[in-house]
Amino acid sequence: METDIRPFHDVLLGLFFITIGMLLDWRPVVDRWGLVLVLVIGPVLFKLLLVTLLARGFGASPGISLRTGLYLAQAGEFGFVLLALAQQQELVPPALLNPILASMVLSMLATPFIIQWSNRIVMKLVASEWMLQSLQMTTIARKSINANKHVIICGYGRCGQNLARMLEQEGIPYIALDLDPDRVRQAAAAGDSVVFGDAARLQAPAAAGWRGPAPWSSPPDVPSAMKVLANARAHAPKVPVIVRTQDDHDRRSSPPPAPPRSCPRCWRAR
C-alpha cells in the first residue's frame, strides 16, 4: 500500500509547498526584515532549548540531546497548517502573516546547514561528547582487534544479516556496523558480531579495521553507500568493496569501478 501511494505522496507534498510559496509576498518581508530575523532566531532558539531539555529529561546524553535539538529546531510542515487555521480564526494579525510565513520558510532553508555543522557545534559546546565518541570508537576497535582478514558489514538489516549468515557458514570473520540501537542490542544478545556505529563516518570503519577482505556496504540509501565507498577508496584503496544497489539506475549513477585486484577467497573489487 505504501508503495502504491508513494507517487501521490510526492506530488501532493510538492503541491503543498508550491501553495505555501504562493502565499508568501516578499515585498513586506523586505520592508520588515528586522522583524523577520527576530521571528527566525527567536522560535528556533526556543525550540532548540525545549527539544534539548526534553531529550535530556528522557535520559539522553548531553551531546545527543543537543544534536536532537539542532535537528528539530526548524519550523515543520504542520506549522503551516496551524498558521492557516490561526489566520482563519483571526488569531494572527494580517500584518504579521507574511513575516511569520517567511521566518518559517527561512528556518527550513537553514536546516541543512545546521545539520551539516551540528557535530562541530556539539563538540564545541559539550565537553563530554569527544569522550563518548572516543569510547564508541574504542568499543568498535576492541571488537575487531583480534580479527584478521575480516569483512566489515555496513548496515545490519535484512541483507546484512543474510550476508553474515553466509560468512559464518564459510568460516569468514566479520564485524557489522549499524545505527539502530535496538537492532544492535538484539544482535549482540544473539551472539552476532555487531556494534553501534555510523559506517558513513570515517572513524567507525577505520576503528573496525580496513584489514578485511571486503567491506560490504548495504545502507538503505544511495548517499550513505556513496560515502562509505568514497571513504574506502580514499583511505583504503587496496581493500576491495562490494556495494549493493537497489536497481540498475543506482548502479549507473555510481562512480566507475576501481580496477580489479586479487585477494583471498577470490573477493573482487567492484
pLDDT in tens, 153-211: 887 888 888 888 888 888 888 888 887 888 888 887 888 877 887 777 777 776 776 65
Residue with cell 541543512: 112
User: Percent of the chain beyond pLDDT 70?
Assistant: 77
Q: In sequence order, what are the beta bridge partners of 154? A: 177, 217
Looking at residue 269, what is its pLDDT? 36
User: Percent of the chain beyond pLDDT 90?
Assistant: 9
Looking at residue 251, what is its pLDDT? 63
- pLDDT band for 253, please (50, 70, 90 cuts): low
Looking at residue 72, what is its pLDDT? 92
What's the predicted TM-score (pTM) here?
A: 0.58
Domains and CATH numbers, the chain: 2-127 (no CATH), 132-266 (3.40.50.720)
- pLDDT band for 49, please (50, 70, 90 cuts): very high
pLDDT at 51 over 90: yes
